[in-house]
Every structure is written in structure tokens, then in C-alpha cells.
Chains A and B, each alone.
Chain A
Amino acid sequence: PARQNRLFKFFCLH
């Protein structure tokens, strides 16, 4: 199934 990934996966947390 397709999962909605969180933005943390793509961008780093400052």
C-alpha cells in the first residue's frame, strides 16, 4: 500500500 510519508523523511529538522 502507498503510505503518506512525513516531511522529516525528505527535509532535515533544524
Chain B
Amino acid sequence: MFEGRLLQGSLLKKVLEAIKDLVTDTNFDCSETGIALQAMDSSHVALVSLLLKDTGFDHFRCDRNLALGINLQNMSKMLKCAGNDDIITLKAEDEGDTITFMFESPNQDKISDFEMKLMDIDSEHLGIPDTDYQAIVTMPSAEFQRIVRDLSSIGDTAVIGVTKEGISFSTGGDIGKANIVCRQNTNVDKEEDQTTVEIHEPVSLTFALRYLNSFTKATALSPQVTLSLSKELPIVVEYKIEKMGFLRFYLAPKIEE
């Protein structure tokens, strides 16, 4: 059987909110090392990769590898019934066709069980090679969210450029153009307000703002976001999940034909 007890249940709620509009159905791959998920959006240009390590759970048991086929909208409906401070336990039998979500209030005076039907999903797994990216930028996640939202009101695509000075976001549309530059900034009080640029070579790539906007639904998971870019490769937008792992989004660049 599989069982995972997560003291900070709100993390799971936040993960679902971040991915449920991008991916419809996906397998949660459970093994003794944790829970992993990889899924593409329906147009196959964006990919979600989630890792929740067993060590981040208060209690974790997985007797044999399980692929739990889950409709994310339905799981989100169930998790919305959990309080933000609740402890969430996931349970599934080896041969079962359901998953149980147990919610415990912080002072243990309310225990709820929700059982959700599982589904059979043929997943398309992509092999993502380890890459030395040409540029890696870490910046405040709220700032990235703000920039992407602001640019979305002006254009459909953004050019993201990285030089050793910083990262720039540009767009254009019927009403005009916009260009935002965030400079490397390591002299701020709080580490989470820093913008750091690690660069081997300047890089500039074009992406659909609609997807970048969707990725920023993960902002609540982490105060910082890391953007990894290489010429003619998908961008990686990574939110680290404290003590547990990460939520990564990959987005294919727009390339001139």
C-alpha cells in the first residue's frame, strides 16, 4: 500500500492550484523515494515536473511502485475541502481504484476522509537530458509574476534576454511596446529579494506569455523562482518546494521558421 502524511497540507493545495489549469489528467508516480509527476499540456509545448521526496513527509510508506491516475480538477475540488492548516494524508491500496485524502485539523478535533476515483492514464514520458544552461537567473517569484502579468496586457509573446548585467523581458502589440530589465542585485537585506545571474553566454529566446502566466500560479510555493535558458531549448521555470523537492515547468521556445 501507499501512504504519505504531509504536516504542511497547504503545500499540496498550492501544487494543485499551480498545475490544474495546465494539465488535465496525470499519473502520480509513487515509489519508496517519494511522489513524482510528469505531464504535458494538451498542445505539447509545456511540461510540468513535480517531485515530492519521501523525506519531506512526516510519514511515508510505499510497498511497491504505483501510478495513480488522477484528474487534477477533481483532486483540486477535494483538496479545497481541506483547511490551510490541515495535515493531509494520501492513501491508496496496491490494487485499488481509489485514493483517499484524509484531512486532520491542527488540534485533531476534526478528521475528514475523502475518497476519489482513480483513472487509467497512458502517460507520454519525455526524457529530459541534463543540460548545462547558458544562463540561470534566480529572482523573486512575485516580481516574475508581476512582470509576466504586466506584459500579457500588451503582447502575446515575450523575448527573454539574459546578459551579465541582468535579465530583460520585452513584448510588443497593437498598442505599443514594453521592455523591463531586472539587474543583478545581491546587495539587498533579504536573500529572497535578490536577483542573481549566472551566465556562460548571453541568450535571448521568445516564449508565449499565456504559458508563462500560467506557470506563475506556483508563486505561492516559493519566494524565489529560477529561470534556466539555453539557445533553442525549452526554458525551465523552477519553484523549489522547501524540504520536499520542486515544481518545474518547461516551455518550448518560439523559433523562426
Contacts and interface: CB of A to CB of B under 8 A. Distances in A.
B125 A4 contact: no
Contacts of A14: 125-127
Nearest to B251: A7
A11 B44 CA distance: 11
Contacts of B46: 7
22 contacts: A1-B256, A2-B206, A3-B254, A3-B256, A3-B257, A4-B43, A5-B45, A6-B43, A6-B252, A7-B44, A7-B47, A7-B234, A7-B252, A8-B44, A11-B47, A11-B126, A11-B128, A11-B129, A12-B126, A12-B127, A13-B125, A14-B125
B257 A7 contact: no
Given A4-B208, A7-B44, A13-B127, 11 more contacts: A2-B255, A3-B254, A5-B254, A6-B44, A8-B126, A10-B234, A11-B47, A11-B129, A11-B234, A12-B126, A14-B125
B29 to A, nearest CB: 13
Interface in B211-257: 232-234, 250, 252-257
Nearest to B128: A11
Interface in B118-149: 124-129
Q: How large is the interface on B (under 10, 10 to 19, 20 to 34, 35 or more residues)?
A: 20 to 34
A14 to B, nearest CB: 4
A11 B252 CA distance: 10
Contacts of B45: 4-7
**At the interface, is chain A mostly helix, strand, loop or mixed?**
mixed
Contacts of A13: 124-127
Contact of A7 (B40, B129, B157): B40
Nearest to A5: B252
Name which of A2, A9, A11, A13 has the most chain B CB atoms within 10 A of its CB: A11
B40 to A, nearest CB: 6
Nearest to B250: A7
Interface in B72-92: none
Contacts of A6: 43-45, 252
Given A13-B124, A13-B126, A14-B126, A2 B44 contact: no
A3 B208 CA distance: 10
A4 to B, nearest CB: 5
Contacts of A11: 47, 126-129, 234, 250
Contacts of B253: 5
B65 to A, nearest CB: 16
